[in-house]
Chain A
Amino acid sequence: MGDAGAQRPGRLMRPGPLASLLWTGLRRNLAMTGAVIVTITICLAMLGAGLLLRAQVHTIDGFLLDQIEVVVDLSDAITPAERSALEAEMRRDPLIVGVRYETKKQVYERFRRDFRGSPDVVAGVGPEDLPAALRLTLADPRASRDIVVTYTGLDGVEAVRDQRALLDPLYRFLDAFTVGAFTLAAVQALASFALIYTMIRISAHARRRETAIMKLVGASNGTIRAPFVLESAVAGLAGGLLAAGVLVAAKIFLVDGQFARQTMFPLFGWAAVWESAVVVLAAGVLAAAVMASIALRRHLRV
C-alpha cells in the first residue's frame, strides 16, 4: 500500500504499552479475574492429582513387578516324586523363569518377617500351620492369571496364590481416584471456560472504546486481541502456579508426612511432582489462552 508499506501490518505493540493495557484490564475486572483464577486452580489441582495418582500406580507397578511371584502352596501329603514331577513341568513352562522350593520352616520365617509389625498375628501361627511352597518367578508378571489356571487342582497342589491379585483392590482404589480426579478436572475445565467466556464478554464491553480506536488507527487484529488473550493467559498462569503449589504441599504434608508411615509401598518421588507441575502450568496457560481466543470470536469483531 504505497509508502505506508514501511509499517508492516503484522507489527505488534511494544511490551510496555501492552503490559499497561493488560494491567488496567486485570484491575478493572478484579473480581472476575479472581473467580477465573480460583476455578482454574481447582481444575489444574485435580488434573495434577490425577497425574500423581497415575504416577503412584506406575511406582507400585515398577516396585512390585520385579518381586511379584506366584506362590504354589503344596499339600502336606505331597510325595517327593510328585513334587519333582511338578517342578520339572514348571521348568518346562515358558511363562516361568524361576522355580524355588521353600520348606514349611522357610515359609514360616518369611511369614514372621512379613508380619513383624503385627506380633499378635505371628503369635497365633506355628511353623506347622503353613504349607511348604513353590515360588514361581514369571517371565511376565502380568501373565499370572494363566499360571493360576494351569496349576490349580494338580496333584499335591493345595492352592495357587497370585500375589498380584492381592493388590487388585489397591489398583482399583487408585484407578477410581484417578478417574475421579480427571472427571472433576474436566468439570472444572468447563466451569473455567464458562467463566473465561464471561470474563471476555465483560472485558470486551469495558474496552469497547479502546478497541474501536485501535481499529480506527489501524492496529492489527493480533494487537487488538492480544490484551484479551493475555488477560486470560495470566489468569491461567496464576491458576497453574497455585495448583503447582497445591501439588508440592500435598507431596510434603500428605504423601511424605502421612502416607509414607502408613504403607509398605514406595510412594512417587519429587520427579513426578515436578513433571505434573510443569504439565499443569503449561495446560493452564495454553488452555486459558485458547479458551479466550474462542470466546473472542464471539465477542470481538475485528
Chain B
Amino acid sequence: MIVLSSVSKWYPNGARPALIDVSAEIGAGEFVFLVGPSGSGKSTLLRLLLREERATGGRVIVAGRDVARIPDRRVPQLRRIVGCVFQDFRLLPNRTVAANVAFALDVVGRPRHVVRSVVPEVLELVGLGGKADRYPDELSGGEQQRVAIARAFVGRPRVLLADEPTGNLDPATSTEIMSLLDAVHRAGTTVIMATHNASLVDAMRRRVLELGDGALIRDEAGGRYDQTVPQPVAPSAPPPVVVPAQPTGTAPDGERSPWATPARSGPVG
C-alpha cells in the first residue's frame, strides 16, 4: 500500500533534513505506530503521504502511485484514499456533528441519498448515534475526535493517517479512541498512527516505526514504544496495559468489528 524508498525531505532554510533516507514498506491492512520525539519527522512523513509536501529525495508510493508525480489536479484523488485525523480534531464549529461528517461527502460530490444513508451509519459506528445534531463545542474532546474519525472514514479511505490523535485526550478517552482506530483497521483500512502515547503502543503491540532526527531507527513488528531490549520478563518491567474499554456497541476482540458489519461496505476503499 505504501512504499518509502530512501525518502529525504529538506525544508527550505532548514539547518538539517526533516527526513533522511527513510525506507519502509507498509502492506495493505497493516496497523503501524509511528513514534519518535517531537521534531523527529513523524508529521513530515505523514505530510508526504498526503502530498502536502513533496520529498526532496527518494520516492513515496501510495496505492501504486508515485506521490510526487501525481499532477496537482489529481492530488484530490489521492486524498480521497488517504484519510486523516489530527490532535486538534479540526471540526467546523458552525456545523453539527452530522453536517461535519456530511461535509466530507458533499464536497466530493457524492449524491444526496448516499450522504443521507451513510452519515447516520458512520455516526452510529463511532458511538455518536444520538448526538448527530450537537455542535462540536457541546461535545467532549473524545467525542470530537470520534466525529473527526467519522469524517475521515466516511469516504472509505484505504489508508487512515492519525497524527497524535490522543494528544489532547485523557488516558481513558485515549484508550477509547485507540480501540476505535483499531476497529477501523479491522475493517480493512491501513492505519498509520503517529503518537507519543507509550502505554497505547505497549498495549497494542503492533508494528512500530521509530524516527530519530529524521532517520528511521527502528522497524519492529509487535514492538513497544521504547526499544525492546531483549531480556527475560523482569519483575521490574511495567505490566502491559490492556485495552479494556471498548466504546459502546463495539464487539469484543475476536468478533467481527462493527466497522465490517454493514452489508453495504463491500470492498472497502
Write the A65-87 contact mask toward B (1 if CB under 8 angstroms, else 0).
Answer: 00000000000000000000000
Q: CB within 8 A of A219: which of B64, B65, B108? A: B108
- Please name all residues of chain B whose beta carbon is closer than 8 Å to the beta carbon of A219 when the two chains form the complex: 76, 107-108
B90 part of interface (Cβ distance < 8 Å) = yes
Contact A13/B269 with A1-B78, A2-B63, A209-B90 known, Cβ cut-off 8 Å: no
**Pairwise interchain contact A216-B78, C-beta atoms closer than 8 A:** no
**Pairwise interchain contact B267-A218, C-beta atoms closer than 8 A:** no
Cα A223 to Cα B106 in complex, Å, equals 10
- Please name all residues of chain A whose beta carbon is closer than 8 Å to the beta carbon of B206 when the two chains form the complex: none
Cα A221 to Cα B111 in complex, Å, equals 19
A299 part of interface (Cβ distance < 8 Å) = no
**Pairwise interchain contact A2-B269, C-beta atoms closer than 8 A:** yes
Write the A207-228 contact mask toward B (1 if CB under 8 angstroms, else 0).
Answer: 0011011111111110110000
- Please name all residues of chain B whose beta carbon is closer than 8 Å to the beta carbon of A216 when the two chains form the complex: 50, 79, 84, 90
Q: CB within 8 A of B269: which of A3, A14, A213, A214? A: A3
Q: CB within 8 A of A4: which of B72, B81, B106, B109? A: B81
Give the A-B contact count at a CB cut-off of 8 A: 94
Q: How far is the CB of B83 from chain A (nearest CB, A)?
A: 8
Contact A14/B112 with A9-B77, A217-B80, A218-B79 known, Cβ cut-off 8 Å: yes
Write the A172-191 contact mask toward B (1 if CB under 8 angstroms, else 0).
Answer: 00000000000000000000
Total interface residues in chain A, CB < 8 Å: 28
* Chain B, 25-82, CB within 8 A of any chain A CB: 50, 63-65, 72-74, 76-81
Residue of B nearest to A28 (CB): B94
- Please name all residues of chain B whose beta carbon is closer than 8 Å to the beta carbon of A213 when the two chains form the complex: 90, 92, 103-104, 107, 151
Cα A1 to Cα B78 in complex, Å, equals 7
Q: A9-B77, A209-B90, A216-B84 are in contact. List 18 more A-B contacts (CB 8 A).
A: A1-B64, A2-B64, A4-B63, A4-B77, A4-B80, A7-B110, A11-B108, A14-B111, A14-B112, A17-B102, A17-B106, A213-B92, A217-B79, A217-B80, A218-B155, A220-B76, A221-B73, A223-B109
Identify 11 residue pairs between A and B in the complex whose beta-carbon atoms are under 8 Å apart, listed by A's number.
A3-B267, A3-B269, A4-B77, A4-B81, A16-B112, A209-B90, A217-B151, A218-B77, A218-B108, A220-B76, A220-B108
